[in-house]
Amino acid sequence: MIVDSHCHLDFPDFAAELDAVVARARAAGVGRLVTIGTRIRRAGQVKAIAERYDDVFCSVGTHPHNAGEEVDVTLDELLREADHPKVVAIGEAGLDYHYDTAPREAQAAGFRLHIAAARQTQLPLVIHARDADEDTAAILEEESAKGAFPFVLHCFTAGPDLARRAVALGGYVSFSGILTFKTGAPLREIAASLPEDRLLVETDAPYLAPNPWRGKRNEPSYVVETARILGETRGLSREDIAAVTTRNFFRLFSKAS
């Protein structure tokens, strides 16, 4: 079994298309899916998708792109949204200095709020980090000193220092279809260097479809190819990398068992 730890199935008005996407994922051997929340005030949408399928779960949170829209969200509100049987994670939240669509102060405040929720619930925090390696690592280290919390660096595109510092704190690192690109050699080097029990794969659908589907709308069924390349990078068979990433998924997203 392969598990897609991060996907966007946010088509609330297209039930037939959702059914088809999930069916293709199942046929490809994907055993669990986590669809990701990007706005706390729209958490009902991802919950409705998760409730539709036994093998689909969700997260709740505010993406850093939207941090400026939800600066008034409180910890109590986030905790209330997380108190649901299909919510298995907090986020995604974090820092994005590439697009900078929200003030950096709002991104950092939102990041710390989500960390507090992950610490209190012990649900894993799904972290978005783009062009913000040093600040991301510094916040993780500062907040970890206040009390441990589970987390994953999703769709990892950062450098080896952030990966090393995250793993040192007990975090996981999740690789998307970028791992399969010709330009993905630096990521493959990082993937080869990390402890086996910290590795995950994901789609980040509908973005970043792996080769040979690059340029098409991504979907969870394609995560099997990303896992294959991760396995090759590690010298593992398809069966072995499936076992590794599935085991890691259930260790981190234990509520999805």
Counting the structural domains of the chain, the total is 1
Q: How does pLDDT run across 223-237, given as a tens digit for each residue?
A: 999 999 999 999 999
Q: Is the pTM of this model over 0.75?
A: yes
Average pLDDT along the chain: 95
Residue 41 is part of a domain; what is its CATH number? 3.20.20.140
Percent with pLDDT over 90 in the chain: 93
Give 45-52's long-range contacts (Cβ < 8 A, gap of 24+). 45/10, 45/12, 46/10, 47/84, 47/86, 47/87, 48/12, 49/9, 49/10, 49/12, 49/18, 50/86, 50/87, 51/86, 52/15, 52/18
Amino acid 154 reads: H
Domain range spanning residue 241?
Answer: 2-256
pLDDT tens column, 47-76: 999 999 999 999 999 999 999 999 999 999
pLDDT of residue 1: 64
Could you read off the pLDDT of 152-208 as tens digits, one per residue? 999 999 999 999 999 999 999 999 999 999 999 999 999 999 999 999 999 999 999
